[in-house]
Amino acid sequence: MKTISRRTFLRGAAAGAASFFILPRHVLGGPGYTPPSEVLNHAVIGCGGMGQGHIGYVLDEAKRGLSRLAALCDVDRDHLARSLKKAPPDCKGYHDFREVLAREDIDVVHIVTPPHWHALMAVAAAEAGKDIFCEKPMTRTIGEARKVAEAVQRNGRIFRLNTWFRLYGNFYGLGCPVKPVKKLVENGLLGWPVTVRVSRHTGFNWKAGMWCGKIGVPPEPVPEALDYDFWLGPAPYKPYFRHRTHKSFRGYWDYDGGGLADMGQHYLDPVQYVLGKDGESPVRVEAEAPWPPHPDAVLLWGRVELTYRDGCRIILESCEWGEEETKGKPYMEGPEGKLYRGFKTDPPSLAEKVKELPDPEPQLADFDRAVRTRRKFGLNEENGHRSNLLVHLANAAIRTGRVLRFDSETERFIDDPGADRLVDPPMRAPWTL
């Protein structure tokens, strides 16, 4: 046998490996293939009703090879256990969201908790280098949303708010796409200023009665599976009863803001976009609602009017208390024309003119692409903060019973310390932003 040196043998073995070792195609990437290094690892915090939708979203993305459900987190053991049964075997469950954020392999965090947790978790996620997919409303208060926006921008993160009507499909409740409405308004076919009526009669159910809180309910035993103290987190301590938590938490000021906060960003974010108001807020707000409001439970309200500096108005009517003024009136009107449901215009010629106009500037509506390219998502921390602000301005007027003036630049109420306390209320120790 011919004698060969060790170096010669290794050189030959390496050449053979280069010639004959075949890598799986998905490892190399390329068109139609996503290499493991580019798969986004997702964590879902909050596994209740809305959490199931987010879990389904990630699992659908996983079928396309784009994402992986890596972690689930909930302070209710039963919610977590049910959700882990749907997850892949390597998905890990957590009780404390901070353990999820400590994982270096997590790329995207879904925040699907009650709104009183949104800001704390979003800021912590941004500081931990995670991109964020957050449920609506963006936060429970005006000040919290500003701090989220600052944290996202300071850390170079991608933020998505989970309401999509400015980006996809039909205008919620109006029965027509957002794009032609934007073209109608943007090109001045209705004239200026414009008034928008968001009411059951124009296609929008505010669910005011559905999300009322309960008053005088005696305390109940806390379920064994629920860590109620952790569920409360930054919210004031209140004795437990079932209606305060899980599916009905929206009826209590400590955690959310009733039907107005539940549906507000769905209904009002596309209005803000159509009016071109992504960079400003109303300067005056007044409301009609039963007086006095309850300090704990969200109750019915009737009408809210938000007015911008240039005279544009957004009128909200629940149609569950007080007069129903918008019956038979248009959804949108200006001095030159009106718009009704189904994109019916007065005069009818306006609808024809819209067809000839150029489309509005496109927005990035693919969150996965936004994360991969580091481009801002269409509904992000800034314009999402502004539409979130509309919701909280309306609720502030309901809770104070006063006509409020608001500074759009400083994002504070003018000469009204009582209303201003709603901007940044204190959190329960040890939680703080």
In the block, tokens 């208390």 appear at 321
Instruction: Decide the pairing of beta strands 412-413 and 92-94.
Output: unpaired
Q: Is residue 18 part of a domain?
A: no
Mean pLDDT of 388-402: 98
**Is 176 in the same domain as 98?**
no
Same domain for 60 and 176, yes or no, is no
Asked whether the predicted pLDDT for residue 329 surpasses 70, the reply is yes
Percent helix, strand, coil in the chain, to 5, is: 35, 15, 45
Does 430 sit behind a cis peptide bond, omega within 30 degrees of 0 on the bond before it? yes
pLDDT of 410 above 70? yes
Q: What is the pLDDT of residue 148?
A: 98
Q: Are residues 237 and 360 in the same domain?
A: yes
* The pLDDT value given to residue 221: 98
Q: Tokens for 414?
A: 């003018």
Asked if residue 338 and residue 278 are part of one domain, the reply reads yes
pLDDT at 4: 41
Pairing type for strands 404-407 and 332-334 reads unpaired
Residue 60 burial class via C-beta count within 10 angstroms: exposed 0-12, middle 13-18, buried 19 and up: exposed
Clarify whether residues 71 and 187 are in a common domain: no
- Give yes or no for residue 328 having a pLDDT over 90: no
Q: Are residues 157 and 174 in the same domain?
A: no
Is residue 156 domain-shared with residue 175, that is, in the same domain? no
Name, in order, each residue with C-beta under 8 angstroms of 375's C-beta and a sequence gap of 6 or more. 158, 364, 369
Q: What percent of the chain has pLDDT over 90?
A: 88
Average pLDDT over residues 296-308: 98
3 or 213, which is more confident = 213
**Are 100 and 45 spatial neighbours (Cβ–Cβ below 8 Å)?**
yes
Q: Which domain holds residue 83?
A: 27-161
Model confidence at 133: pLDDT above 60: yes
Checking if the pLDDT of 149 tops 90, the result is yes
| Residues 265, 367 share a domain | yes
Full-model pTM: 0.91
For 228-257, write each residue's pLDDT tens digit.
Answer: 999 999 999 999 999 999 999 999 999 999
pLDDT at 158: 98
Q: Which of 138, 161, 184 is the last residue of a domain?
A: 161
Write the pLDDT tens digit of every residue in 10-37.
Answer: 444 444 444 334 444 344 444 444 444 6
Which tokens is 221 given?
């035993």
Q: For residue 2, tell me if it sits in a domain.
A: no
Same domain flag for 183 and 139: no
Contacts (Cβ under 8 Å, ≥6 apart) of 340: 330, 331, 346
Report yes or no: 401 and 278 within 8 Å, Cβ to Cβ.
Answer: no
Section 287-316 average pLDDT: 97
Domain count, the chain: 2
Looking at the fold, whether 71 and 153 belong to one and the same domain comes out as yes
Show Cβ contacts of residue 107 under 8 Å, excluding neighbours closer than 6 positions: 40, 41, 42, 130, 131, 371
- H helices of 276-380, in order, are 349-355, 367-373
pLDDT of residue 170: 82
Tally of CA atoms within 13 A in the half-sphere of 58 that contains its CB: 28
